[in-house]
Chain A
Amino acid sequence: MTGRNSPPQAGPIRPYEFPPVLDDSLDNGMKLRIVHNLPGRLVTAMVVLRAGETGVPRGQGGLAVLTGDALEGGTARLSSRELAARLEDIGASFGATTGWDYTTVSVSCLVEHLGRAMPLLAGMVRSPAFAPSEFRRYRAQRLATATHRRMDPGSLAADSFVRFVFGEEGTYGRPLGGTEASLGALGPACARDFAMSRYGPGQAALVVAGDVESREALELADQAFGDWDREVETPPEAVDGDGERGRSVHVVHRGGSVQSEIRVGHVGVSRFIDDFFPLTTLNLVLGGSFGSRLNLNLRERHGFTYGVRSSFATRRGAGPFAVSTSVESAVTGAAVREIFSEIVTLVEQGPAEEEIAAATSYLAGVFPLRMETTGQIASRVAATVVFDLPADYYHGYRDRVRAVTRDKAAEAAQRHIRPDELCAVVVGEAGEVAPALEALGIGPVTVHSDEGGPG
Chain B
Amino acid sequence: MIDVEEYTLDNGLRVVMAADNRAPVTAVNLWYGVGSRNEEAGRTGFAHLFEHMMFQGSAHVPKNGHFKHIESVGGSANATTWFDRTNYFETVPPHHLDLALWLESDRMGWMLPAMTSEKLENQRQVVMNERRERYDNQPYGDWDERLQSLLFPETHPYHHTVIGSLEDIAAATLGDVSDFFATYYVPNNAVLSICGDFDPVHALGRVDRYFGEIARGDVPPPLPGDDRVAFETGETLRSDAPGPVPLPRVYVAARVPPFTTDLYYPAEAAASCLGTGRSSRLYDRVVRRRAAKSASCHVLPLTSGATIFLTVATGYPDSDVDELEAAVARELDQAADITEDEVSRAVIGEETRMLRALQQVETRADLLSMYATHFGSANRLNEDLRRMRRVTPEEVRAWAGRYLHPENRAVVRYMPAAAS
Residues of chain A touching chain B, judged by Cβ–Cβ distance below 8 Å, are: 2, 4-16, 39-42, 72, 80-81, 84-85, 88-93, 108-110, 137, 140-141, 144-145, 147-148, 150-153, 256-259, 261, 289-291, 296, 299-306, 326-328, 357-358, 361-369, 371-375, 452-455
Contact = CB atoms under 8 A, between A and B. Distances in A.
Interface in B60-76: 60, 63-64, 67-69, 71-76
A326 B133 contact: yes
B139 A372 contact: no
12 contacts: A8-B98, A9-B98, A88-B345, A88-B349, A257-B137, A290-B64, A291-B71, A296-B64, A300-B126, A305-B129, A369-B25, A452-B246
B345 A89 contact: yes
Classify chain B: how many residues form its interface, as a range: 35 or more
Contacts of A8: 98-99, 102, 206
A27 B98 CA distance: 52
Contact of A152 (B246, B348, B361): B246
Which one of B72, B124, B290 has the greatest number of beta carbons of chain A within 10 Å?
A: B72
Contact of A368 (B24, B71, B139): B24
A447 to B, nearest CB: 19
B145 interface: no
A42 B71 CA distance: 30
Contact of B290 (A13, A84, A137, A145): A137
A258 B136 contact: yes
Contacts of B71: 289-291, 358, 362
Nearest to A145: B293
Given A108-B352, A373-B359, 15 more contacts: A7-B69, A81-B288, A90-B348, A91-B345, A109-B352, A140-B316, A141-B294, A153-B138, A259-B133, A303-B122, A365-B73, A365-B96, A369-B93, A373-B360, A454-B417
Those 8 A-B pairs whose CB atoms lie nearest each other, nearest first: A365-B74, A303-B125, A454-B244, A91-B352, A84-B278, A91-B348, A306-B130, A8-B98
Contacts of A256: 244
Nearest to B276: A88
A110 B279 contact: no
Contact of B126 (A13, A257, A303, A454): A303
Given A88-B279, A144-B293, A303 B123 contact: yes
Query: B-side binding surface: helix, strand, loop or mixed?
Result: helix
Given A14-B24, A140-B316, A372-B361, A304 B129 contact: yes
Interface in B126-184: 126-130, 132-134, 136-139
Contact of A306 (B126, B351, B353): B126
B246 A148 contact: yes
B210 interface: yes
Contacts of A258: 132, 136-137
B355 interface: yes
B132 A11 contact: no
Interface string B86-105: 00000111111111001101
A2 B213 contact: yes
Contacts of A144: 246-247, 293, 314, 316-317
Given A88-B278, A140-B316, A141-B293, A300 B64 contact: yes
A444 B75 CA distance: 42
B245 interface: yes
A167 to B, nearest CB: 26
Given A88-B349, A89-B345, A303-B123, A6 B137 contact: no
Nearest to A40: B359
B74 A2 contact: no
Interface of B: 22-25, 60, 63-64, 67-69, 71-76, 91-99, 102-103, 105-106, 110, 121-130, 132-134, 136-139, 197, 202, 206, 209-210, 213, 243-247, 277-279, 283-284, 288, 290, 293-294, 314, 316-317, 344-345, 348-349, 351-353, 355-356, 359-361, 417, 420
A40 B1 CA distance: 11
A442 B288 CA distance: 51
A357 B74 CA distance: 11
A4 B133 contact: no
Contacts of B316: 140, 144
B108 to A, nearest CB: 12
B72 A358 contact: yes
A90 B353 CA distance: 12
Contact of B99 (A7, A302, A373): A7
A152 B129 contact: no
Nearest to A146: B246
A362 B72 contact: yes
Contact of A372 (B93, B96, B127, B359): B359
Contacts of A40: 22, 355, 359
A306 B133 contact: yes
B249 to A, nearest CB: 10
B403 to A, nearest CB: 25
Which one of B75, B110, B349 has the greatest number of beta carbons of chain A within 10 Å?
A: B349
Nearest to B315: A144
A256 to B, nearest CB: 6
A147 B246 contact: yes
Contacts of B245: 151
Nearest to B348: A91
B99 A92 contact: no
A116 to B, nearest CB: 12
Nearest to A453: B244
Contact of B129 (A88, A110, A326, A375): A326
B72 A361 contact: yes
Nearest to A306: B130
Nearest to A2: B209
Contacts of A90: 348
Contact of B95 (A13, A289, A454): A13
Contacts of B68: 291, 358
B115 to A, nearest CB: 15
B288 A151 contact: no
A304 B123 CA distance: 10
B342 to A, nearest CB: 10
Contact of B23 (A6, A372, A375): A372
Given A13-B95, A137-B290, A299-B126, A84 B317 contact: no
Nearest to B356: A42
A137 B351 contact: no
Which one of B60, B97, B124, B137 has the greatest number of beta carbons of chain A within 10 Å?
A: B137
A84 B284 CA distance: 10
Contacts of B246: 144, 147-148, 150-152, 452
Contacts of B361: 372
Given A258-B137, A358-B72, A361-B74, A4 B130 contact: no
Contacts of B74: 361-367, 369
Contacts of A110: 352, 355
B67 to A, nearest CB: 4
Given A13-B95, A88-B345, A454-B244, A328 B279 contact: no
A374 B278 CA distance: 22
A301 B63 CA distance: 11
Given A15-B24, A84-B278, A372-B361, A361 B243 contact: no
A372 B197 CA distance: 12
Contact of A14 (B93, B137, B314): B93
B349 A365 contact: no
Contacts of A365: 73-75, 92-93, 96
A6 B99 CA distance: 10
A261 B132 CA distance: 11
